[in-house]
Structure 1
């Protein structure tokens, strides 16, 4: 991405502090460098300049400002390059310095790199001209040690005074100390101003360099430590295809996912994906489970680590304050309580989610099919049985055969599905639904979890399979009896049932989560496939969360009209599983078409105006990026295009690339099944050739 600043004679970057006090800051124009649990948010030209900007580690801002200027000289940014998730380069021109023609002669090059708890900025002033130059380079820095909550809420926290210690700037508060030093240049240090000043004299064709390093000392250990570079739980991947957009999306997504990895401090070998940057660099049950499920074609190790990390924290008691219940899988884990806009506060370990528990069972089943070690699966079956019991008791608290949620304490989330904003579940006329609420997609998860759980119990010789199959069939009948409604276009399932068991009649992207789960018959699936393909939901850049014909539709609404890449990818996968490859290919192409606008780094969500209105998608200004399940969506699009399904216990690997029209030819490496490498080639005619373990029978493809 090239960023050119015009009409700025001083060369200073515009401050990020243009938000109103108390409002969540916008993120669409920030540059993110990431190595979880650390990240840097800055202006596109490189400066950390207030607002949401900062060097963060473990939900605490260590630097709130960091700027590089040249005294009396305009420094004009010309480009920045995201070299990797944890490495970004910025280039700028020192206007009027050393120039003897109209060409720039002197440049500033900044290379930012990140390790957990360590920020480095390599600075280089290069003189490509024919004149001697002399300039004063000024590095200014400061910190407020604000919590991530304060930053997200738009609350300004007073800056701390700096000290000088051993040739470095130092800031302290309580148990935290932040140190900023320079490797070379013998700067003058001004603690009051928080500045390093370097005198730089350069002859023609020479350069000057120094490296800034910021480190933190914190007596409180990280809740979830970083993962070493050589410990990524999948092999090196590669994609070469006829579509450069897809190649960029895949490479950027996998690179971001590597830097979103965190580990369980109780068992450091167990890894999971933090939900996203900057607000959600922690364990989120739903997000971590979906992302691990999407990445199963890269191997089952991530799924196994995610399952075990969550199983260790599975609910054991009833606690209304945290929403914990026996067998329940948690929603999120934080360093401290998280305050909500509505005035409520979530405890550090919070269980207020209705879907993480069935999704845990589904992931265990799917990981088993992709080749997770049977003994590891067996060890987790007691947790699966506890999760299934939660479905039938606490999940279905009123005994009507469906899963519902309610914020019983009044302190947690009012909506507890993946669309968890307060206004997400509403009638077509815009009226908000009243809880308890039974979401349509949660019934699909519950059905799939019960069927999958029964398959696991039967395969491992444990009792109860018939019970859960019967339970699933009752849920299917109940869903068909209560959720289906009709409008002028035809029949469809409501987004939810409200407190009075009335079907809330909005048309939503939830249809995509129902397909391919077994909850629907062929006729019902066809009705939903047609809805998903229609212009009210299919924006041309992906799937809108709410139909445009709903009164509450807002293309900038968090869950009421925006586009979430993972939501679209789930629909693509469901359409392929249900036998609708053309509709799946259309949605997939829309998401791929949207990706260049975000440099291949798909955000958490973006605006739902659509390709008929905008030539490129508009960002949702407060969206997180990168986001684990958005990045993992790239793998799901490829899996769906290939029609790839694994069943290691049955010894089969299947391909059906009917949704891959226009994707081939492609060559995909770095996949794993049954712990062994899997390599796939798709030619322009749709023929698949694979290199796969000899223990598996391959259907729909030739062996290479």
Structure 2
């Protein structure tokens, strides 16, 4: 998936004698409040207290500490509530203050909200007792203005001295200025200690409040600015189903996705999804493309913005350092270079990915089928042609008809598929595969991109369709000849071919990416569906990245046994398209069950122990959350359950709800197709009624109010 800083992550608050400098911090216990490109990471009780915690904006940590305490009084947290992605409330009891029975009498309520470049924290002390109270509320704050890269790498930065500027504490370095003030309450401010002190006297039944406001001024323009609240590129959505877990997962996911949106500064109307919080609030080719593809049932605006944003940055030259090549779609864009623990530094604009380029073509094709304006499609076709040329030249550097990758410079990522950690591609006995590597799922992407590209070229009267269809058929033949291996359970495709073109024989979740792409025949699809449904891969909470019978299996391994929600959602969609609804429903049900452990906000990945071992899934401690393609998985699961496929150029809309077990009846509104509203109702008997544009012929469903068709 995303760029991985290698090394064993460190616990957030380890014993004092344990050295954690230089180790990636854990995130499983942080509370995240988000409005990209700003976010706050804090303790569950609300304080920003070291480690990865902080108020961040544009990959810079503005506040490294922020605490609220009451002098001489224990403040005991009792709850936190995430009302939306950008708003979190914390409630605590002031123990022993104003009490005349065993009941708590005085509480502290903190309500945190984030906007781009602004953090606000509303503080309220409420006295529900019968006695007058007097307390001193102390707000402590500090800043180190550390880069996100340093925080992610576990490198500590010295605290900056605070200045007193009028009624605000101020921290400055280079082009960045951070100001923290209270809007009321007349605190005593001590710049030396970074404290604001409030004297609070409350009679019975009274309350006191103030608002802390932290604002950043940064003279360096952001790589990618925020998106206004009223500019979200999809309509308001709502899901009411028989499975309230699915409802929570869907609602939380869509809310998180709204706050992960960023804009292209060259054309602010073009939006895309940042990959994830906290480390990846930026443009990632693969992540942004997959998330936009999963969200096509919500409309084509996000897909169009993502396609254009990446097309403007499509490779035009050959540069070994950045891995740029003509026609190639980039991997990531950052404010500054990313230093990996093992030494090299990736450049701020890095192209080291083998799959973003075919995924770009696939998204353009699918967006066209969902009704993207033909003129917008036409404008992007030269970029599609350049991407297809990259597949046939740089993507297949040795001319064997398959797509492979190698880090030519030796300074970039060793693995350049979505499983891009250094140990992800390995043999069944645990040995690491040697590059150049040809991944199984990338062959499926290449086939789908070539066939989809051919369809686009033919539909728009451009030459080359036959060439790409022939190229795709050659790839299909080469895949069948080269990838298939066999064990005691039968035939299956290897995860990859290594440098010697030997099939690397581990059993992985990559099977799910092959289904429904056209690369496999019916018999091959059935073999993979059975593997995906088996207990070695299907954990009961989703799909493991590596089979439990592999020597390298580790349930906490980043790509070697953990569960990635987007990976499972891709498999669910592929199974449904390939005609295996029971297997699709089983995997989808496991992912929905897992979502409840994370309050509907599925993380980037979680541990792969499985439901036979754990009643709930264990977090992967360093996982990002929220994360774009994990959140977008909620929409992908619903699309698969409904068997929803659009072909606007052919004026058809199809439904086949065979994988909808457990979630019907349901009502789903806020979808869009061909630029018009689409709503779906599935009843308890499995019948579908839709409200859809009259220009489309609907198959497998009735139009609302007309059940006779």
Separation in 2, partners of 1:159, 1:394: 47
The total of aligned residue pairs comes to: 692
1:80-120 per-position Cα deviation (integer Å, ceiling 9, x unaligned): 00000000000000000000000000000000000000000
Instruction: Give the corresponding residue for 1:370.
Output: 370
Separation in 2, partners of 1:176, 1:307: 32
Unmatched tracts of structure 1, length 5 or more: 1-12
Instruction: Give the corresponding residue for 1:188.
Output: 188
**Does the Cα contact within 8 Å between 2:605 and 2:620 map onto a contact in 1?**
yes
1:338-361 per-position Cα deviation (integer Å, ceiling 9, x unaligned): 011221211000000000000000
1:652-679 per-position Cα deviation (integer Å, ceiling 9, x unaligned): 0000000001110100000000000000
Separation in 1, partners of 2:564, 2:320: 31
Instruction: Give the corresponding residue for 1:553.
Output: 553
Do structure 1's residue 605 and structure 2's residue 582 form an aligned pair? Answer: no
1:574-632 per-position Cα deviation (integer Å, ceiling 9, x unaligned): 00010000000000000000001000000000000000000000000000000000000
1:6-45 per-position Cα deviation (integer Å, ceiling 9, x unaligned): xxxxxxx979998711110000000000000000000000
Do structure 1's residue 276 and structure 2's residue 280 form an aligned pair? Answer: no
User: What TM-score does the superposition give when structure 2 sets the normalisation length?
Assistant: 0.97
Separation in 2, partners of 1:275, 1:700: 35
1:375-432 per-position Cα deviation (integer Å, ceiling 9, x unaligned): 0000000000000000000000000000000001001000000000000000000000
Instruction: Give the corresponding residue for 1:154.
Output: 154
1:266-319 per-position Cα deviation (integer Å, ceiling 9, x unaligned): 000000000000000000000000000000000000000000000000000000
Secondary structure of the corresponding residue to residue 428 of structure 1: coil
Instruction: Give the corresponding residue for 1:178.
Output: 178
**Does the Cα contact within 8 Å between 2:137 and 2:199 map onto a contact in 1?**
yes
Separation in 2, partners of 1:127, 1:379: 63
Alignment of 1:450-461 (within 5 A): 450-461=450-461
Separation in 2, partners of 1:637, 1:175: 45
Separation in 2, partners of 1:576, 1:14: 44
Instruction: Give the corresponding residue for 1:570.
Output: 570
**Does the Cα contact within 8 Å between 1:16 and 1:53 map onto a contact in 2?**
no
Separation in 2, partners of 1:252, 1:269: 25
Secondary structure of the corresponding residue to residue 458 of structure 1: helix
Separation in 2, partners of 1:345, 1:169: 35
The Cα shift of 1:174 comes to 1.0
Instruction: Give the corresponding residue for 1:80.
Output: 80
Secondary structure of the corresponding residue to residue 186 of structure 1: coil
Separation in 1, partners of 2:316, 2:183: 52
Separation in 2, partners of 1:375, 1:19: 58
Unmatched tracts of structure 2, length 5 or more: 1-11, 705-709
**Does the Cα contact within 8 Å between 2:45 and 2:90 map onto a contact in 1?**
yes
Separation in 1, partners of 2:19, 2:390: 43
Secondary structure of the corresponding residue to residue 222 of structure 2: coil
Secondary structure of the corresponding residue to residue 442 of structure 2: helix
Change over 3 Å in CA distance of 1:16–1:158 after alignment to 2:
farther
Do structure 1's residue 627 and structure 2's residue 627 form an aligned pair? Answer: yes
Separation in 2, partners of 1:591, 1:199: 50
The Cα shift of 1:321 comes to 0.5
Do structure 1's residue 389 and structure 2's residue 372 form an aligned pair? Answer: no
Separation in 2, partners of 1:367, 1:307: 10
**Does the Cα contact within 8 Å between 1:179 and 1:214 map onto a contact in 2?**
yes
**Does the Cα contact within 8 Å between 2:13 and 2:51 map onto a contact in 1?**
no
Do structure 1's residue 48 and structure 2's residue 48 form an aligned pair? Answer: yes
Instruction: Give the corresponding residue for 1:112.
Output: 112
Instruction: Give the corresponding residue for 1:3.
Output: none
Instruction: Kindly report the root-mean-square deviation, in angstroms, between the aligned alpha carbons of the 2 structures.
Output: 1.0
Secondary structure of the corresponding residue to residue 286 of structure 2: helix
Secondary structure of the corresponding residue to residue 250 of structure 1: helix
Instruction: Give the corresponding residue for 1:437.
Output: 437
**Does the Cα contact within 8 Å between 1:19 and 1:51 map onto a contact in 2?**
no
Separation in 2, partners of 1:604, 1:646: 28
**Does the Cα contact within 8 Å between 1:15 and 1:50 map onto a contact in 2?**
no
Alignment of 1:527-542 (within 5 A): 527-542=527-542
Separation in 1, partners of 2:701, 2:512: 27
**Does the Cα contact within 8 Å between 2:48 and 2:65 map onto a contact in 1?**
yes
Separation in 2, partners of 1:638, 1:48: 37
Secondary structure of the corresponding residue to residue 394 of structure 1: coil
User: What TM-score does the superposition give when structure 1 sets the normalisation length?
Assistant: 0.98
Alignment of 1:283-298 (within 5 A): 283-298=283-298
**Does the Cα contact within 8 Å between 1:19 and 1:25 map onto a contact in 2?**
no
Instruction: Give the corresponding residue for 1:504.
Output: 504
Do structure 1's residue 471 and structure 2's residue 471 form an aligned pair? Answer: yes
Change over 3 Å in CA distance of 1:42–1:678 after alignment to 2:
same
**Does the Cα contact within 8 Å between 2:253 and 2:631 map onto a contact in 1?**
yes
Instruction: Give the corresponding residue for 1:232.
Output: 232
Secondary structure of the corresponding residue to residue 669 of structure 1: strand
Instruction: Give the corresponding residue for 1:8.
Output: none
Separation in 2, partners of 1:613, 1:360: 39
Instruction: Give the corresponding residue for 1:307.
Output: 307
**Does the Cα contact within 8 Å between 1:337 and 1:348 map onto a contact in 2?**
yes
Instruction: Give the corresponding residue for 1:449.
Output: 449
